[in-house]
Amino acid sequence: MQTLSQLKSGELAGITRLKLSEDLTSFPLEILSLADSLEILDLSDNRLSELPDEFSQLKKLKIFFASNNVFEALPEVLGRCPDLEMVGLKSNKIKHVPAQSLPTRLRWLILTDNQIETLPDSLGERPRLQKLALAGNRLTHLPQTLDQLNNLELVRISANNLIQCPDQLLGLPKLAWFAFSGNPFCQSSTKVQTVPCVPSTSFTLQHVLGQGASGVISKAIWNQPQANLPTEIAVKVFKGEVTSDGYPEDELQACLKVGHHPNLVQSLAQVNEEGYLALIMNLIPNHYRNLGLPPTFSTCTRDTFPENFTLSIEHIEKIVVQMQDVFAHLHENKVCHGDLYAHNTLFDDEANIIFGDFGAATMYHMLTEEQQQKIMAIERRALHYFIDDLLNICIANDQKSDTYKQLQQLITK
C-alpha cells in the first residue's frame, strides 16, 4: 500500500498499481499525474462518495476497486474510461446504477452488499462480461437483456429479493458457477436436521485452520467425549453476515442436505444459537493439500496452479472419477455447489480428494423440472472446466495417452 504523501511528492511516478487507504473523503487529483501508466487503482476502505469527471483521464486504467466506501450511485465517469475492464464497489451504499456507468469493455463487475433494486438494460449490452457478483442487494428482477451475455461464466445473485427464477441466465452458453440462494423464488420451508444440534459450550476452539468469505475454520476438541464422534474436530463459525456468496444459514442448510459422501468434508453436528451459527466437521488429515489456486485478474474465472506443478494422467483420471461421483451425489440431493473448482478441492499423494466450501451452494428442489435440468447443466459445465484445467497441467508425455484423449472428448462433446 502506498501513501498520499508519496504520491504528492512525485515518488510514485510511473507506477502501474496504486492502493490508497487513508480515510479519504475526496478523490486525490494527484492520481491523475499517473494517467500514462496507472492500470490498477484500489481506493477501498475510505469514505469516498463520488469521482470527478477528470477520472476519465486515466486512459490506461483496467481495474478499479472502491469497496467499503459510501458511494450511493455507481459513478457515471467509469463508463467513459476506455480500457476499464474490472469494477468492484462491494459494501457501499449504492442504490442506483446508471446505464452510462458501465464501461464498454467490462469483464468483471462486483457490486456485492449494496442497496440496488434495479439494474439497467445496458448491463446486457456488455458482451465481454465474464463475472457478475450482485449478492446482498435488493433486486426484485434482472434485466431480460442478460440473455445476451454469451461470455458470462460466473454469477452471484444470492441474498436478493428475486421473486422468479431468472430464466434469462439459465440458457447462457458459458455459465458454469451460479449462486442464487436466499431469494424468494428458491426459499424452502424445510429445515434439514441430518446432524445433531450441540451447544457452543460443548467444545473449545484451538488454532485457526483457515477462513473464507463466510466464516473461520478452527481446530477444536470436545470438552466431554461425544459418542461416535472423533475427539479432534474442525469447527466453522459463520460470520453471520451476507457474503459474496449469500447468507451463512443457506450454506449450512445446503451442507446438511447433501449428507455424507466419502469425498466430501463430513458434517458431524451444528450449533444454531442466537448470534452463533457453526458447523462441526471431520478434521481433514494434514497430508491433504490444495489441488489448485484461485483465479487471478487475468484468468478471471479459471483456476491457476503453482508454477511447474504437474499431474500424471493416472492421477488426473482418478481425481476426475471421484469428482464425477461427487457431482452425481450433489445433484441427486438437488444441491448446486456453485463453486466447483480445483482450489476448493484437497488431494493427497495418492490422488484421493476431499471437496468442500459450500458458501455458494443452493438447494433447488423447489424449481420446475426444466429449471432443475438447466441448473445441473450449468454445474456440469463447471465440472468440464475442472477437467480441462487438470488436463492443462498433465505431464507432457501423458498427453498422447488414450485416457487423456478420452477426457478431452468428454469435455468437448
Residues within the annotated binding site for ATP?
A: 236
23 burial via Cβ count (<10 Å: 0-12, 13-18, 19+): exposed
Q: Which long-range contacts (CB under 8 A, 24 or more apart) does 293-301 make?
A: 293/343, 294/341, 294/343, 297/40, 297/63, 297/86, 300/107, 300/108, 300/130, 300/131, 300/153, 301/130, 301/131, 301/153, 301/154, 301/176, 301/177
Pairing between β-strand 63-65 and β-strand 86-88 as defined by DSSP bridges: parallel
Residue 68: which region, alpha, beta or left (left: phi > 0; alpha: psi -120 to 50)? left
Q: How far apart are CA 286 and CA 348, in angstroms?
A: 9
Q: How many CA atoms lie within 13 A of 29 on its CB side?
A: 3
> Residues comprising the binding site?
236
Structural contact between residues 168 and 142, judged by C-beta atoms closer than 8 angstroms: yes
| 177: three-class secondary structure by DSSP | strand
